[in-house]
Amino acid sequence: MKIDILTIFPDMFTGPLTESLIGKARDKKILDIAIHDIRSFATDKHHSVDDKPFGGGPGMVMKVEPLYRALSSVGAMRKKNRPYVVYLSPQGRQLGHALATEIASRKHVVLVCGHYEGIDERAERWFDEEVSIGDYVLTGGELPAMVLIDVIARFIPGVVKERASVEQDSFYNGLLDYPHYTRPAVFKGMKVPPVLLSGNHAQMDVWRTEQSHERTRRRRPDLLKGIQQKKKRTKRRIK
């Protein structure tokens, strides 16, 4: 998968995209991530990327010309083989498991990071989708872009070593994760649930499934409603 990031703060990406699993996936060429400085596409002598809003009001607005040129440079303006262009914005469709798998299925994605009060509205036509990571406003789209890259990277085969690890995670099956434990078996009197030390794998599976359901019922009952509806729909289809 190829990801092009358009930003006016390219340095913000170095840590999160060079360390850990994402860094390894880039080394292995599973993930091809390129970061582009929108400022380098400005043609005026001050390389300006923002300007005062028409009609007045507080703050600055990101200009369309440098962004247009940056988008052109990554192939977003061509007719054939256009990448999927995503603008990170609080007005977008809220990111979740479903949206993440959809974006992860694309071959080439362009992430546009805004700043200040946002981008000149005339840029909207160049975006295939606006994505929000939650109902809050941030100073820029860079952190949301990194969150999006991290969540989609986990769905690309080879990024997370074990497929089972991805498939067992919360939200894959619509349930919260079961509790995890590692050595020592007793720490300051706190014991690991005996079933996990029993060696009976069938029993352990039952226990974990029970824990997942119980946790989901207590903490996220809204998720269980979703599963019940899904079950009802497939039942109807079978009839």
Which residues contact ligand 58G by CB under 6 A? 88-91, 114-116, 118, 132-134, 136-138, 140-141, 144
The minimum distance between CB 116 and ligand 58G, in angstroms, equals 6
Per annotation, catalytic residue among 32, 51, 117, 167: 117
Name residue 3's beta-bridge partners.
33, 109
Cβ proximity to ligand 58G, 89 vs 212, nearer residue: 89
Cβ proximity to ligand 58G, 137 vs 190, nearer residue: 137
> How far apart, in whole angstroms, are the C-alpha atoms of residue 111 and residue 142?
9
Query: Which contiguous run of DSSP H or E holds residue 3?
Result: strand 2-7
Name the closest residue to ligand 58G (Cβ): 118
Per annotation, catalytic residue among 10, 16, 90, 220: 90
Query: Which contiguous run of DSSP H or E holds residue 145?
Result: helix 142-153
- The answer to whether 53 is a known catalytic residue is no
The minimum distance between CB 145 and ligand 58G, in angstroms, equals 9
Burial class of 83 by CB neighbour count within 10 A (0 to 12, 13 to 18, 19+): buried
Cβ proximity to ligand 58G, 83 vs 118, nearer residue: 118
Cβ proximity to ligand 58G, 54 vs 136, nearer residue: 136
The minimum distance between CB 123 and ligand 58G, in angstroms, equals 11
The minimum distance between CB 109 and ligand 58G, in angstroms, equals 16
The minimum distance between CB 151 and ligand 58G, in angstroms, equals 12
- The answer to whether 128 is a known catalytic residue is no
Cβ proximity to ligand 58G, 89 vs 216, nearer residue: 89
Contact (CB, 8 A) for 62 and 115: yes
Residue type at 141 in one-letter notation? G
The first and second tokens of residue 33, run together, are 């991530």
Per annotation, catalytic residue among 37, 50, 142, 154: 154
- The answer to whether 154 is a known catalytic residue is yes
- Write b or e for each residue in 89-110: b if 16 or more Cβ atoms lie within 10 A of its Cβ, otherwise e: bbebeebeeebbeebbebebbb
Per annotation, catalytic residue among 169, 208, 215, 220: 169
- The answer to whether 90 is a known catalytic residue is yes
Nearest to 146 by CA among 12, 39, 25, 37: 12
DSSP secondary structure code for residue 174 in this structure = S
Nearest to 93 by CA among 103, 108, 80, 83: 103
Query: So which residues are the catalytic ones?
Result: 90, 117, 154, 169
